[in-house]
């Protein structure tokens, strides 16, 4: 976080009077039998045009570019982030965010170390600054840290009009940078977006591996992830 922050369906029924050679009155049982056949036909026809395995579309999905479309965490993230995969999905859902976007932030901020602490005082998995917590909060508690961090990410995304790239900039440099020209961004924020955005694109595109993750790891993340592995007891 910033160091200063941080079908509709309608049905219609029509009846026709009998005419010509079919002009007669059906007995009550025959009416019930014919009605059952017609209802069965209508049901089967509905199933034929709406496959049972078609996934439901959430009501809040506006277009194919919405970050909400991603169903879970991508395999491109390091194993320290995969360790938190189920939790990331739950936390992201609570904040109405794409879990992959949340995973990008955790990857860069802490590489999954719940006790990570920066020199500026940012804490935990999402490196949340102290003033984002309530007095009764436990900042290093994963659920609490995620709730505060992802709330800020959600606000950044809203301010950015759904632009995940700008939301990443806002998360690192403060929401105020979103409205500013990029050449005025702090160098750290530029680097954050330089690595975070390609990682997110790889995740959205369904990549199995990510050169962006590898480059970030080799330049900045090796020691951070080693610390996270030791903390989590990963081999």
User: Measured between alpha carbons, how far is 39 from 91 in angstroms, rounded to an integer?
Assistant: 44
**pLDDT tens series, the chain, 235 aa:** 664 344 333 333 333 333 333 333 334 444 344 344 444 433 343 333 333 333 333 322 223 344 433 457 999 999 999 999 999 999 999 999 999 999 999 999 999 999 999 999 999 999 999 999 999 999 999 999 999 999 999 999 999 999 999 999 999 999 999 999 999 999 999 999 999 999 999 999 999 999 999 999 999 999 999 999 999 999 9
Alpha-carbon torsion angle 165, 169, 174, 175, nearest 10: -20
Question: The domain that contains 142 carries what CATH number?
Answer: 1.10.530.10
DSSP 54: P
Residue the block writes with tokens 């007995």: 27
Task: Show the domain range for 203.
Answer: 80-232
pTM surpassing 0.85?
Answer: no
199 is a domain residue: yes
How far apart, in Å, do the first and last CA atoms of the chain sit?
A: 29
Angle at 163 between CA 98 and CA 56, to 5 degrees: 40
4 is a domain residue: no
Closest by Cα among 104, 101, 105 to 127: 105
Structurally, the chain folds into a number of domains equal to: 1
How far, CA to CA in Å, does 129 sit from each of 7, 62, 126, 171, 179?
A: 46, 33, 9, 11, 22
Q: Which residues contact 139 (CB under 8 A, 6 or more apart)?
A: 123, 124, 128, 130, 133, 145, 148
Number of residues assigned to the chain: 235
């Amino acid at each position: 976080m910033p160091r200063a922050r941080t079908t509709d369906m309608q049905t219609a029924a029509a009846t026709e009077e009998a005419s010509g050679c079919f002009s007669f009155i059906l007995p009550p049982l025959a009416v019930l039998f014919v009605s059952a056949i017609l209802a069965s036909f209508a049901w089967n026809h509905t199933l034929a045009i709406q496959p049972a395995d078609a996934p439901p579309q959430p009501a809040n999905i506006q277009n194919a570019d919405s970050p909400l479309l991603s169903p879970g965490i991508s395999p491109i993230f390091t194993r320290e982030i995969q360790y938190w995969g189920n939790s990331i999905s739950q936390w992201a859902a609570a904040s109405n965010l794409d879990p992959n976007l949340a995973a990008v932030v955790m990857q860069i901020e802490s590489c999954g170390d719940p006790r990570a602490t920066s020199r500026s005082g940012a804490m935990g998995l999402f490196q949340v600054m102290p003033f984002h917590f309530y007095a009764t909060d436990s900042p290093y508690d994963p659920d609490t840290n995620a709730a505060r961090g992802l709330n800020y990410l959600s606000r950044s995304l809203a301010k950015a009009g759904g632009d995940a790239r700008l939301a990443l900039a806002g998360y690192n440099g403060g929401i105020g940078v979103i409205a500013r020209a990029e050449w005025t961004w702090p160098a750290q924020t530029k680097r954050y977006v330089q690595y975070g955005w390609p990682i997110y694109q790889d995740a959205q595109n369904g990549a199995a591996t990510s050169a962006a993750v590898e480059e970030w790891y080799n330049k900045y993340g090796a020691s951070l992830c080693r610390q996270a592995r030791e903390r989590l007891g990963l081999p």
